Structure 1
C-alpha cells in the first residue's frame, strides 16, 4: 500500500491469476459483482 500525503490518496494493488477480460467481467456485470463481493444470499440490483 502506498500513501501519498501530498495528493491525499491511497493506492492498494493486488495481482490475480486471471486475464484482464475475466477481471473486467467480474467488475462490470451484476453476476460478476455478486460473485466477487457478495456473501451467500446477496444479490446485486438488476435493471
Structure 2
C-alpha cells in the first residue's frame, strides 16, 4: 500500500508545535513516536 500524503499547513503546524515544545526535553525515541502518530492520524486512510 502506497501512502500519498497531501500536506496541509495545519499538519505542518502540528509538527512544528511539537518540535518547539518538546525538542530537547524528551527522548528522541518518544519524539519519533509522536511524529509517527501524527503521520498515521493525518495520512493513513482505512
TM normalised by structure 2 equals: 0.31
Higher helix share: 2
Higher-RCO chain (CA-CA 8 Å, sequence separation at least 6)? 2
More strand by share: 1
Q: Which has the larger radius of gyration?
A: 1
